[in-house]
Amino acid sequence: MQFSAKVSDISKQRSACAIISADAKNRLSSSGAALDKATGEIIGKVLKRGDLGSKLGSTLTLNLVEGPAERVLLVRSDEGVLSQADFRKLAKASANVAKGFKDATSYLTELEVADADSAWQAQQLVLAAGLAAYKFTRCLSDAKGNPLAKFTVHAPDSKQLKAVQRGVDIGAAQALGSNVARELGNLPGNICNPTYLAAEARTLAKKHATLTTTVLDDKKMASLGMGAFLSVAKGSDEPPALIAMHYQGGKSKGGKATDKPVVLVGKGITFDSGGISIKPGLQMDEMKFDMCGAASVFGVMHALLELQPAINVVGLVAAAENMPSGRASKPGDIVTSMSGKTIEILNTDAEGRLVLCDTLTYAAKFKPSIVIDVATLTGACVIALGNHATGLYANDDELAKELLAAGERTGDRAWHMPLWDEYQSSLDSNFADLQNIGGREAGSVTAACFLSRFAEDYTWAHLDIAGSAWNSGANKGATGRPVPLLMEYLLGK
């Protein structure tokens, strides 16, 4: 899909769809007024008739007989300055209609948005368009993707064109990364397994000079003492993989990065049956989404390769399948992690923290500036926050503030949860250094506390995306979150 910025005269700009706004009093933006004049005031007459709904984000498509645009898409705005949240509603509403046309030009950058410039507006418009255009077709025998192939954002004037184009580029990269994550998340477990993810990472590295990939197999993990990680994988016939993708855009010397990297760690349980602590059958198909943390790391790597920022990032993917078998871990088993800490496994369905704890220990070898893990970790986080916000935990308040701010700027929001010492005692075990679950209370918090035991040597944050990573019901599918949040954070480094 092609995205671009252009200072365009709407009365001359050819497009399958020109997107303009009308406020609560039916007043058009400047480009909308110009188009109305060029088409004999057809748009104004339709507005006076009341065909466009009064609710913010209502849309109406008009087929034009005259003028360079084949049709105009009217979007209901509001009077005065819009909030950023309201502007994102307009961006999403217009994109959901525009995806049905071969190309579109948006003039919504003419709206005034609180604490935002036209570059930010362009970023939001392109992100919305890119997300709307995605459609999963790989496993459908007769399916076509959405036709939208070109999306242009109007720059208010030539002085702003460069900044608007930068906003377009960032939004396009965020959309690309989100859609990569969605595609991997939506693939079924019989296709997208640890071996598949490892192959995808190797292929990506072959295409890009700034990326290298290494993959640790079960033998290498065993030699490193990753007993927690391997305890999850041993119940499955699918071999595990610890995938490391190194994006090197920052300073280097002799081919080695000198800038300390940000390390992203993604939970990649490609199917989670729960193991011996088997899950209920209802909606178990959605456990293919238990690798959405890993998918988001892949998405970020794709977005970084698209933008080529001057930073160093390592993406670690802890990939395994959690299945019940005669070899599977049993409740009460005790394993030794790479850190040397012993863990009593009370629930084999609390497996994500077991693959993550060894991967967090492994992350220290990269001498990171920051480590952020991303995981569909707990159902308790869904109960606490629903699907609107990602649960955010951190051992550093400044890091937490930066991630929260990145989420606010993109609309990919998170909420700062407590990581207090008072919760740690729930992980005490009579038989090992710690157990892999606490009690019924504060399940998302105690899961984060577990991970914190393995992230004591560096600045760390944990994103619990169990509620935000996918949708259920009629719109079932991966969302691509938190790729926009992570990219916004990384680009601010």
Superfamily of domain 179-491, CATH level 4: Zn peptidases (3.40.630.10)
Asked: is 2-153 a CATH 3.40.220.10 domain? The reply is yes
394 Cβ neighbours under 8 A, 6+ residues apart? 400, 403, 416, 419, 460, 461, 462
Which band of pLDDT confidence, cut at 50, 70 and 90, is reported for residue 251?
confident
For 96-232, strand residue ranges (E) read 103-106, 150-154, 211-216
Active site residue 202: no
| pLDDT given at position 64 | 83
What's the mean pLDDT in 207-226?
A: 98
What's the mean pLDDT in 231-254?
A: 92
* Percent above pLDDT 90 for the chain: 95
Which band of pLDDT confidence, cut at 50, 70 and 90, is reported for residue 110?
very high
What's the mean pLDDT in 283-312?
A: 98
Does the pLDDT value for residue 39 go beyond 90?
no
Q: pTM score, two decimals?
A: 0.97
Nearest to 314 by CA among 203, 201, 232, 397: 201
| pLDDT given at position 253 | 59
Averaged pLDDT score across all residues of the chain: 96
| pLDDT given at position 66 | 75
Q: Residue 201 and residue 196: Cα distance in Å, rounded?
A: 9
Which band of pLDDT confidence, cut at 50, 70 and 90, is reported for residue 114?
very high
The DSSP-derived string for 64-79 is: -SSSSBSEEEEEE--S
Going from the C-alpha of 2 to that of each of 15, 130, 441, the distances in angstroms are: 14, 10, 48
Bridge-based pairing state of the strands 342-345 and 333-336 = antiparallel
Q: Tens digit of pLDDT for each residue in 315-331?
A: 999 999 999 999 999 99
| pLDDT given at position 255 | 60
How many CA atoms does the CB half-sphere of 112 hold within 13 Å? 5
What's the mean pLDDT in 282-292?
A: 97
Which band of pLDDT confidence, cut at 50, 70 and 90, is reported for residue 254?
low
- Burial of 6 from C-beta contacts in 10 A (0-12 / 13-18 / 19+): middle
Q: Which two tokens stand for residue 374?
A: 């991303």
> Where along the chain do the CATH 3.40.630.10 domains lie?
179-491
Catalytic choice (202, 234, 260, 279): 279
Does the pLDDT value for residue 157 go beyond 90?
yes
> Where along the chain do the CATH 3.40.220.10 domains lie?
2-153
Active site residue 353: yes
Catalytic choice (182, 353, 409, 481): 353
